[in-house]
Amino acid sequence: MTTTGTPTLAVDSRTRYTSDETCFAGTSTGQTPGSGKETMRILIAEDSAPSRLALERVLVKWGYEVVPCRDGSAAWEQLQLPDAPRLAILDWMMPGYSGPEICRMLRAKGGEPYTYLLLLTSKTLKEDLIAGMEAGADDYVTKPFDLHELNVRLRAGMRILDLQAELLEAREKLREQATKDSLTGLWNRRSIMEILEREQARSQREGAPIGVLMIDLDHFKQVNDCFGHLAGDEVLREAGRRLLASVRPYDGVGRYGGEEFLVVLPGCDEAGLRARAESMRAAIAAPPLEKVSQGLTVSASFGATVFMPQSAVSVSDLIRIADEALYEAKHTGRNRVVLRSPLIGTLR
């Protein structure tokens, strides 16, 4: 085949393709797409082996990592994987599933991150192309296609994927700001209360108890007065770290306000709750607080209660009972755990 003007990768009767190496080199930028970022993986779905190999060779030369598929069924399987390529070039007509069918199924599935889909087709009728786009394709290239055009369209797809990644990152940051305490990184008050409400509903469905701890750092005002507010902030952060290190992955730890913390322990009865609370109390009191000067040590008082699934105690009642137990711990010497049952009074 003779190339004139802009190089093309021609496909005729699904077997002819160019083997002119100067054609590939002429379209190469000499740089990996998205320089400085992870190499973009592209899925190719094309049942003509010569055409697939030729396209793969071009994409590899441009710096992409290629996942080749010989038909629509193989492409669909690859696109279901957790680490599926985020950009796919799909031939329109293939055994198994056609390109538009894959587009339609993938869009119906939804989910994130987004997959950019480019149809490769010999169809040129406006109605066909519109049908492909309506099926969920983001763009298309007609055969025989221009390599410069393909390069530009792929880079446009990459820009869209980069923008989506930035939006997801921004959304995650907003979610963090809305649900996490900015100082300690723990759940904020609203979020930990929502966790307690969800666990209470789960407890009533599944019949398992919930342990609730209200924790207050002892003499915290003196820390701020003697060492300054920056030291006080570090005390709060370190106390949060120690609490997190003392709980299970599915327990909830939140900053309730000021120097108070709320801990939700699903499946924890009174004996288990007392043992866990004592472990947390010892962890907070263990010297020293590494990042605070003068080897400062602090302690904390714990108010504990257990929600039993057969009881009619509300979330606000649980907080009140745990707070009453905390108040008692404060007034009986601090650095201790007081467990109060909503059903049978106070346990010492």
Domains of the chain, with CATH numbers? 8-176 (3.40.50.2300), 189-347 (3.30.70.270)
pLDDT confidence of residue 313: 87
Helices (H) and strands (E) in the chain, counts: 11, 13
Q: Are 214 and 326 in contact (CB under 8 A)?
A: yes
Q: Are 83 and 112 in contact (CB under 8 A)?
A: no
pLDDT confidence of residue 194: 95
DSSP letter for 256, please. E
pLDDT confidence of residue 294: 61
63 by DSSP, 3-state: which? coil
**Dihedral angle of Cα 23, 24, 26, 28, to the nearest 10 degrees:** 170
**Dihedral angle of Cα 21, 124, 155, 50, to the nearest 10 degrees:** -30
DSSP letter for 332, please. T
Question: Token pair for residue 216?
Answer: 């207050």
Residue with tokens 């987004």: 114
Q: Are 230 and 155 in contact (CB under 8 A)?
A: no
Strand partners, 8: 146
Closest CA to 297 of 308, 318, 276, 283: 283
pLDDT confidence of residue 309: 87
Provide the CB-side half-sphere exposure for 17 (13 A, CA). 17
**What is the secondary structure of 87-151 as a DSSP string?**
EEEEESS-SSS-HHHHHHHHHHH--SS--EEEEEES---HHHHHHHHHTT-SEEEESSEEHHHHH
* pLDDT mean by block of 10 residues, the chain; 348 residues: 42 35 35 55 91 90 92 93 92 90 90 87 73 85 81 88 85 81 94 95 92 96 88 92 94 96 96 95 82 72 93 90 96 95 53
pLDDT confidence of residue 347: 41
Sheet with strand 116-121: strands edge to edge: 65-69, 41-45, 87-91, 116-121, 139-142
Residues 199-214, buried b or exposed e (16+ Cβ, 10 A)?
A: bbeebbeeebbbbbbb
Out of 259, 278, 290, 324, which one is annotated catalytic?
259
Question: Which spans in 246-314 are helix H?
Answer: 270-285
pLDDT confidence of residue 135: 86
pTM: 0.58
Strand partners, 118: 89, 139
Active site residue 259: yes
